[in-house]
Amino acid sequence: MKILQATDEHLNQLTRLFNGYRMFYKQPDNLDKAEAFLKDRFRQNDSVIFIAFSSKNEAVGFTQLYPSFSSVSVQRTYILNDLFVSEKNRGQGIGEALLNHAKQFAKKEGSKGLTLETETNNPAQHLYERLGWKKDEHTFHYTWEV
């Protein structure tokens, strides 16, 4: 397996994975919408996407990080917003490799770290905890939507 920072050259492969990710979260199948969103991320340069390839050069997973800042620690931090491994490739360590790659990137960038949120029933929580992620038991997260 190899992991690369995705560019617009990976758009077709990444779009299929991203569409699968959205469908996993009960969004309708829409390759055009997925592609347009990813094109905007590349054009605006407002996220970092890592894509994992199998030994057969098939795109099998990705993670997307959004830069943010911590005012308290006066440091950059990254929000790990998306992590997805195609269904047929789960259980092969791809998610773990993507998470570790993101951690190394955050260290290299001199950031405070990575933050993620997940559904309370997401089985990947065990992976996060095994890899040293800490569940925040002291703060609440609130969302306001239009």
Dihedral (C-alpha) 111, 25, 59, 43: value to the nearest 10 degrees? Answer: -60
Enter the pTM of the model: 0.93
The reply to whether 78 falls in a domain is yes
| Beta strands at 59-70 and 2-5: parallel, antiparallel or unpaired | unpaired
Domain of residue 17, CATH code: 3.40.630.30
Residue 13 included in any domain: yes
Q: Give me the pLDDT at residue 26, please.
A: 94
E strand or H helix that includes residue 85: strand 75-85
For the cut 90, the answer to whether the pLDDT of residue 66 exceeds it is yes
Model pLDDT, residue 13: 96
Asked whether residue 12 is assigned to any structural domain, the reply reads yes
Number of domains composing the chain: 1
Asked if residue 137 is part of any domain, the answer here is no
Whether 135 maps to a domain, the answer reads no
In a domain, 146, yes or no: no
Burial of 49 (0-12, 13-18, 19+ CB in 10 A): buried
**Domain annotation covers residue 89:** yes
Examine residue 129 and state whether it is found in any structural domain, yes or no: no
User: Tens of pLDDT along 105-146?
Assistant: 999 999 999 999 888 888 888 899 999 999 988 888 888 899
Domain with 62 in it = 2-124
